Structure 1
């Protein structure tokens, strides 16, 4: 007879099936040679970043997104939806592993928009991707919903710049109290300076860690993702963002336009037309 402890261990150690790589690559429009090279990593990362929108509709509508790969494929790959960082990067990690890359999940502390002395919890999912035969791993992240997000992976090298056109990024080491070095991703602004996005160490995180964080971010009454809509999409010539009912379009040259949507019905129309997000016909957004 199986004990409760043995049954629990079995549940925790069950290996999930691999991703449907054909369907995923078709979703992001990628048709290259399936080998674990730096060029494949770069091009798959960019194709995902522009192919699948960032959105937090599930928490806003009162549900917790599943991080099971099969569920992510049903939603993000086949369902005409996007997702937030845990969904996006779990899906990317599964695909990159299937392509032969070694992936280590990390957790970052968002510093974008933080005030002096603010200490936010580590809630952002990102990853290190190792290319066989290369000594330096890459920071990969397709789930940071902001204009300063990475379009391509960046080598883990302090002070080296990445020109992931039309954006520019760099990684720097920043001081903090702790035994591990702290890294900070920075994005180059239209004004010519560098703006911090998030900080992280190389402490590995596992999928169960993000199950807990995902639940917290989707259900905690103080979580911004539960109360306000955040949607992002990157196109060839602009970055679109929808925060609540405020629609912003930032062109590649940094110019920005902004307008307020009138009601939930217009939000749903914009989600479909501008962000490519398909929702059931009876969806009603909170007022």
Structure 2
């Protein structure tokens, strides 16, 4: 099956064009990031999120829920393909918070999207990073070119350019310098490998997603709930932090400010 486009567009508040143009891609990516929150509540209550399109539609489109990278970008890839875009699924290694020299597994899904009739340069698209430094618009996959969009600045750099599989690193301008977000190659990832990575992230005892981790990008800021710690970041980068009192307060916050109806058993940590 495929996702019902009318229902999806209603969910993200999109009333614009549906042709496979760069303008459509830009608008849809921004609307999706603002319209559907990033969350890992299924993992917190002991479940592995389904990547079947019917389940993603029921959860992210029709339900008051969000998801993490595998869910968001699987859903978005189907929408883009229905509209006529060319989509290649890529897996990458998240570098935010990594120690120097640490090599993490490929546990993040991104998309390389081609716009029909364009100059042939694919665009990096990611609606499932869930960070105040994440992409809000497509990034042309041209190394070294800095792109500013929706108040954020990004670029791609290439590591090991002469190797058999050059590594591309998405960077964001943050705190006065370039911050590595995710590293990936252009080798397409098969659906079965995405399912394995999804299972690993949801079940590994040391996975960071086994604690509550919820984010929402707002037109004028960003919300992050990490365990019982809530961080509100304004558009100018200033942040306020508060500690929540318990599971009842967390559940109320999820509904009131993140637009999420939490499943039974939701709590700050497992």
Match of 1:165 in 2: 150
How far the C-alpha of 1:168 sits from its partner, in A, is 1.1
Instruction: State the Cα deviation string for residues 229-254 of structure 1 (Å, max 9, x = none).
Output: 11010001101101001100111111
Instruction: State the Cα deviation string for residues 188-233 of structure 1 (Å, max 9, x = none).
Output: 11x321111011100000221111111111111121112x111010
How far the C-alpha of 1:279 sits from its partner, in A, is 2.6
Query: Does the residue aligned with 1:278 lie in a helix, a strand or coil?
Result: coil
Q: 2:165 aligns with which of 177, 180, 184?
A: 180
Match of 1:79 in 2: 63
Q: In the alignment, is the contact (CA less than 8 A) between 1:61 and 1:286 conserved in 2?
A: no
Match of 1:258 in 2: 241
TM-score, scaled relative to structure 1 = 0.90
Q: 1:269 aligns with which of 227, 252, 255?
A: 252
Distance in 2 separating the partners of 1:198 and 1:40: 25
Q: In the alignment, is the contact (CA less than 8 A) between 1:29 and 1:47 conserved in 2?
A: yes
Distance in 2 separating the partners of 1:177 and 1:200: 15
Match of 1:147 in 2: 132
Largest Rg, 1 or 2: 1
Match of 2:212 in 1: 229
Q: In the alignment, is the contact (CA less than 8 A) between 2:41 and 2:262 conserved in 1?
A: no
Q: 1:106 aligns with which of 90, 104, 111?
A: 90
Q: In the alignment, is the contact (CA less than 8 A) between 2:39 and 2:214 conserved in 1?
A: yes
- Unpaired runs of 5+ residues, structure 2, are none
Distance in 1 separating the partners of 2:144 and 2:222: 26
Match of 2:80 in 1: 96
Runs ≥4 in structure 1, deviation > 4 angstroms? Answer: none
Match of 2:191 in 1: 207
Q: In the alignment, is the contact (CA less than 8 A) between 1:182 and 1:200 conserved in 2?
A: yes
Q: In the alignment, is the contact (CA less than 8 A) between 2:172 and 2:180 conserved in 1?
A: yes
Distance in 1 separating the partners of 2:47 and 2:163: 36
Query: Does the residue aligned with 2:195 lie in a helix, a strand or coil?
Result: helix
Match of 2:20 in 1: 36
Matched, 1:197 2:181: yes
Q: In the alignment, is the contact (CA less than 8 A) between 2:223 and 2:232 conserved in 1?
A: yes
Instruction: State the Cα deviation string for residues 42-71 of structure 1 (Å, max 9, x = none).
Output: 100110011100000001100011000110
Match of 2:108 in 1: 124
Q: In the alignment, is the contact (CA less than 8 A) between 2:130 and 2:217 conserved in 1?
A: no
Go from structure 1 to structure 2 and tell me whether the alpha carbon gap of 1:58 and 1:157 turns closer, same or farther (over 3 Å shift).
Answer: same
Distance in 1 separating the partners of 2:173 and 2:62: 34
Cα RMSD (Å) of the superposition?
A: 1.3
Q: In the alignment, is the contact (CA less than 8 A) between 2:48 and 2:203 conserved in 1?
A: yes
Larger relative contact order, structure 1 or 2 (CA cutoff 8 Å, min sep 6): 2
TM-score, scaled relative to structure 2 = 0.96
Query: Does the residue aligned with 1:55 lie in a helix, a strand or coil?
Result: coil
Go from structure 1 to structure 2 and tell me whether the alpha carbon gap of 1:284 and 1:185 turns closer, same or farther (over 3 Å shift).
Answer: closer
Distance in 1 separating the partners of 2:245 and 2:262: 19
Count of aligned pairs: 268
Distance in 2 separating the partners of 1:147 and 1:174: 25
Q: In the alignment, is the contact (CA less than 8 A) between 1:56 and 1:83 conserved in 2?
A: yes
- Unpaired runs of 5+ residues, structure 1, are 1-16
Deviates more, 1:105-114 or 1:170-179: 170-179
